[in-house]
Chains A and B, each alone.
Chain A
Amino acid sequence: AQKVTQAQTEISVVEKEDVTLDCVYETRDTTYYLFWYKQPPSGELVFLIRRNSFDEQNEISGRYSWNFQKSTSSFNFTITASQVVDSAVYFCALSEASGYNKLIFGAGTRLAVHP
């Protein structure tokens, strides 16, 4: 069965700290995609990254980086030198090749960055 687990419900950090958001997924498909979305207080989900199951290279985009490890079924997200504007709920999601583009979401991690 497909499932996405974000075990951290809430994380609180002080500005400039590094923070890692964990994501563990379950799937029987060999072809699948993993996503991260950001939901600021306004409510709209903002797409951050898509990674396919055949590409385990880590990715860096500015202060954001993602670590994909198939061996542990994890797709973790790290924010370096966090800022107050990073405060949001972050969702990890899974899409399976057999599931026609259906996104399976984790419950989300609420990140609060304090000045």
Chain B
Amino acid sequence: DGGITQSPKYLFRKEGQNVTLSCEQNLNHDAMYWYRQDPGQGLRLIYYSQIVNDFQKGDIAEGYSVSREKKESFPLTVTSAQKNPTAFYLCASSMGRPPAADTQYFGPGTRLTVL
């Protein structure tokens, strides 16, 4: 089945630790995205990647890092510099057609809690 997988589903982190969230897609999409969702709020863009080996900062990139070494994979690292990392993280992908004419499809999400 084609789709987007994220792991783990739940993640607990001690303060000061870096953690990496996995996102994999087998839809053959060129573009991938990471969003953060806080309770009662909409999603905010952290990073996005249009093609392999290229990525751009979104609105709230501070304290996060990404890599895009393979088309299928776009892992997100939440570093110790992120002051309030407890949130729900959603990964998305899209075909990467010209700006705005593209639909993003989302994975099931990872819920990160800092202890």
Which residues of A does B touch, CB under 8 Å?
4, 9, 31-33, 35, 37, 42-47, 50, 52, 91, 93, 95-103, 105-108
CB of A7 to closest CB in B, whole Å = 13
Residues of A within 8 A of B103 (CB): 35, 47, 50
Which residues of B does A touch, CB under 8 Å?
31, 40-45, 48, 50, 58, 88, 90, 92, 94, 96, 99-109, 111
A-B contact pairs, 9 of them (CB 8 A): A9-B40, A37-B106, A43-B88, A44-B107, A45-B92, A47-B106, A101-B96, A102-B48, A105-B43
B109 in complex: contacting residue of A35, A44, A50, A107, CB < 8 Å: A44
A96 in complex: contacting residue of B44, B90, B94, B100, CB < 8 Å: B100
Could you tell me if B109 and A101 are in contact, using CB atoms closer than 8 angstroms? Answer: no
CB of A41 to closest CB in B, whole Å = 12
CB of A11 to closest CB in B, whole Å = 15
A99 to B109, CA, bound (A): 24
Could you tell me if A107 and B41 are in contact, using CB atoms closer than 8 angstroms? Answer: yes
